[in-house]
Structure 1
Amino acid sequence: MFENFLIRSDSLKNEVNDGEVTGFSLAVRHANYRGVYLSLHNGYYLEVDGTEYPTEVQRFEINGKPPRTFDEIRTAVHEHWDYDDEAILHVTAPGGLAAGNHTVRFQQSVLAAYGYLPTDEEWVKNPPKPGTGAGSDKAPQIVTYKLTLNEQEEN
């Protein structure tokens, strides 16, 4: 159920910096009603129109701070992402996306659980790859969204 609300449907847009389209972004929410400490957020499985965008090209913006890599977020042990707070996922993709409809396949990877699990220590050292289902918490499936990119916006 929560996975149906992970992406705000009208949020897909290209990002333009110094007159050049450098990627795209979309607004995301957390799947667990308890929220999560950012250090447990491991990134996303993200595929748009058959092209996969790994965590290395993803940046995450939350709590009024500039976009950060997931390696940087891993150290944010005292910073919380509340369930109702919207974040922005920035994706580096030179040229961005074409205007029009896009098929987005998406899964959140958050290393959160109720109590201790045998995987906890291993995942801190070697986080699972988003999209494998490991660390997916309340959204265990890759979810398909149909989103429309209407226009380019200057940042």
Structure 2
Amino acid sequence: MFDKYMVKEGSFQNNGQDGFKFQVHVGDYRGCFLSLVRGYYVEVDGVEYPLEKQKFEINGKPPRTFDEIAKAVWEHWDFDDYATLYIDCPGGLSKGPHRLGLMQGAMVQYGWQPHDQEWIENTPLPKDLVGEQTKQKEVYYFDVEIK
């Protein structure tokens, strides 16, 4: 819905020698419960960074894995708030322009769907979420820069 606003302008930066980080906005006008956020498809300059390399920081809590986020059933991500997505990439990225591909894997929050139990037990990767089960239908690309 608000996909072109998903990445906060100017937030893309290296995170010391551990990797890089950037701020993301929830792709829904109502916000969502954190347990519905199943991770991100992240690609920078053609290199994919899987869920195992991602951590998510929101609501003043330290960065968490998406396995931990899946248990945050009462915690809400409000529309006005940005979260920080940390990517494990030893040495970080080179300074200069980069091409970021991003897809937010968030399940819909409008009641129980037939596929929901299967998704809870065996969650698809963000890029594999398709159809009516997810808000975002494709990978969006952003031109970003590390200064």
TM, length-normalised to structure 2: 0.94
1:15 equivalent to 2:15? Answer yes
Cα offsets for 1:39-92 (capped at 9, x unmatched): 111000000001000010100000000000001111111110011110000011
C-alpha separation in 2, matches of 1:29 and 1:40 = 14
Tell me if 1:101 matches 2:89.
Answer: no
Alignment-mate amino acid for residue 80 of structure 1: H
Offset, 1:137: 2.8
Q: CA deviation at 1:107?
A: 0.1
Whether 2:122 is the aligned partner of 1:126: answer yes
CA distance in 1, matches of 2:32, 2:96: 33
- For residue 78 of structure 2, what is the aligned residue in structure 1? 82
Aligned CA-pair RMSD? 1.4
Give the direction of change, closer, same or farther, for the CA distance of 1:117–1:136 in structure 2 (3 Å limit): closer
Residue type matched to 2:3 in 1? E
Aligned counterparts of 2:33 and 2:109: Cα–Cα separation in 1 = 12
Counterpart contact for 1:32–1:137, Cα < 8 Å: no
Report how many residues are paired.
146
Structure-2 residue corresponding to 1:149 = 146
Q: Give the distance between the partners of 1:10 and 1:122, measured in 2 at CA.
A: 38
Give the conservation status (yes or no) of the 8 Å contact 2:107–2:135.
no
Structure 1 residue 32, shift from structure 2 partner: 1.0
Deviation at 1:136, TM superposition (A): 6.7
Q: Distance in 1 between matches of 2:118 and 2:9?
A: 35
- Report percent identity of matched pairs: 45
User: Contact between 1:107 and 1:136, CA under 8 Å: does it hold in 2?
Assistant: no
Contact kept, 8 Å, 2:36 with 2:109, in 1: the verdict is no
| Deviates most, 71-80 or 60-69 | 71-80
Deviates more, 1:135-144 or 1:114-123: 135-144
Q: Please give the TM-score of this superposition, normalised by the length of structure 1.
A: 0.89
Which runs of 5 or more structure 1 residues have no equivalent in the other structure? 151-155
For residues 58 and 136 of structure 1, do their structure 2 counterparts lie closer, same or farther at Cα, with a shift above 3 Å needed? Answer: farther
